[in-house]
C-alpha cells in the first residue's frame, strides 16, 4: 500500500522542521540544511511509490534525508579546491599555502549518522 500524493504532501509538511533540524545537525549550516531539506522533500515526493508501509513514513523520510546529505558530502569531496598562492618577492617563486581542513571525516560522519538513524528507527518502533 502506498500513501497517496495529497496525504504524503501533508505528512511531509508536518515533518519538515524535524528534518531541517536533523540535517542542520549534520551540516552545521542553516542555508545548507534548508537546501538539503527541500531536496529531501522533493526526492520523497518523487519516490513515494517506494513507501510500502505508511506507518514507516518517518524512518523512510530520515533515510532519504541521510542519503541526500551524504550525496552532498560526496559531491563536495570531489570538487576541485583552489589553493591560494602567496605572492613571492621579486625573483622568488610563489609558495603554495596549504589550507587546514578542519571538517570532520566523511566516513566518521556517515557512521555516526547511520547509528543515529538506527536509533531513530528503534524509537519509532517503540512508539
Angle at 62 between CA 126 and CA 78, to 5 degrees: 145
Q: What is the pLDDT of residue 5?
A: 55
**Cα–Cα distance measured from residue 85 to residue 92, given in angstroms and rounded to the nearest whole number:** 13
Q: What is the pLDDT of residue 2?
A: 46
Q: What is the pLDDT of residue 106?
A: 65
| Separation in Å, CA 65 to CA 19, 51, 53, 89 | 7, 14, 18, 50
Contact between 83 and 96 (Cβ < 8 Å): yes
Q: What is the pLDDT of residue 6?
A: 56
The CATH class for the domain spanning 5-78+108-126 reads mainly alpha
Helix (H, G, I), strand (E, B) or coil at 49: helix
**Cα–Cα distance measured from residue 113 to residue 37, given in angstroms and rounded to the nearest whole number:** 16
Whole-structure pTM value: 0.58
Q: What is the pLDDT of residue 24?
A: 92
Q: What is the pLDDT of residue 61?
A: 93
**Cα–Cα distance measured from residue 17 to residue 19, given in angstroms and rounded to the nearest whole number:** 5
Residue 111's Cα: distance from chain center in Å? 13
Q: What is the pLDDT of residue 31?
A: 93
Summarize pLDDT for 94-111 with one digit per residue, the tens.
554 445 555 666 666 777
Helix (H, G, I), strand (E, B) or coil at 100: coil
**Cα–Cα distance measured from residue 106 to residue 69, given in angstroms and rounded to the nearest whole number:** 11
Print pLDDT tens along the chain (127 aa): 444 555 777 878 889 999 999 999 989 899 999 999 999 999 999 999 998 888 889 999 999 999 999 888 888 765 545 444 555 555 555 554 445 555 666 666 777 777 777 777 777 777 7
Contact between 65 and 19 (Cβ < 8 Å): yes
Amino acid at each position: 500500500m502506498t500513501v497517496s500524493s495529497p496525504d504524503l504532501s501533508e505528512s511531509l509538511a508536518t515533518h519538515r522542521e524535524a528534518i531541517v533540524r536533523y540535517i542542520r545537525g549534520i551540516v552545521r549550516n542553516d542555508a545548507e540544511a534548508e537546501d538539503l531539506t527541500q531536496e529531501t522533500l522533493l526526492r520523497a515526493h518523487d519516490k513515494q511509490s517506494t513507501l510500502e508501509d505508511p506507518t514507516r513514513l518517518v524512518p523512510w523520510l530520515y533515510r532519504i534525508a541521510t542519503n541526500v546529505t551524504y550525496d552532498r558530502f560526496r559531491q563536495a569531496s570531489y570538487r576541485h579546491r583552489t589553493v591560494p598562492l602567496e605572492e613571492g618577492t621579486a625573483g622568488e617563486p610563489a609558495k603554495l599555502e596549504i589550507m587546514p581542513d578542519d571538517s570532520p571525516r566523511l566516513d566518521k560522519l556517515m557512521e555516526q549518522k547511520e547509528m543515529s538513524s538506527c536509533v531513530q528507527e528503534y524509537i519509532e518502533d517503540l512508539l
